[in-house]
Structure 1
Amino acid sequence: MGSKLERVKRNWPMIIENIMSTKFSVLKISDSEDMARQLMVETGASCLPVIGDAGEPLGVIWQTDLLQRLQPIAKKKSSADSKSKEGVDWLSDVMCV
């Protein structure tokens, strides 16, 4: 059995097919931020693909996208006169495309 470096060299170059995840969850563009957070917690995913109504890929939502919104959302909730539509923030407002 060779060293770790020899094993890496033997398997180089790694192709995406050999390292990608094939089991993952997706979000629809109309899903809420709360749904995204819940799904990330349940699956342990740090990011999730976002699809349109026809199933076409539109972008990716990352944990960091959601975390960056927590501070402004906390301030928004403390202000009685500024609320998002029905108290829900939409993925299209925060996802990366």
Structure 2
Amino acid sequence: MATTRRASHARPELEPPANQVSQLELVDLFHRRAVHELVIVEIAPLFYRLEAIISWRIGRWTLMGARGPRNFRNLETLARHLKTMGVGRTIIRLELLT
């Protein structure tokens, strides 16, 4: 009997972000009300990354996971993740690929 293979959704190979923030740090910054804006960036088709603009830090800060930058395959999953972090009334912007 022949085995079947599922199509793999390989992560896109991108350069690592310069500014990095962990999940715990980001939640702490939400509690301090230091996050001005969250940017959801489409880094490849069906791959999204979360970046924060923080009040006393320069530039965008990428949310990091255990194995590198935290990527999301689905906007619904990302929205659910944001609700569990306690985003509140923070401005959220979406940047799509052109």
Fold similarity call, TM over 0.5: no
TM-score band by shorter chain is under 0.3
TM-score relative to the length of structure 1: 0.24
TM-score relative to the length of structure 2: 0.24
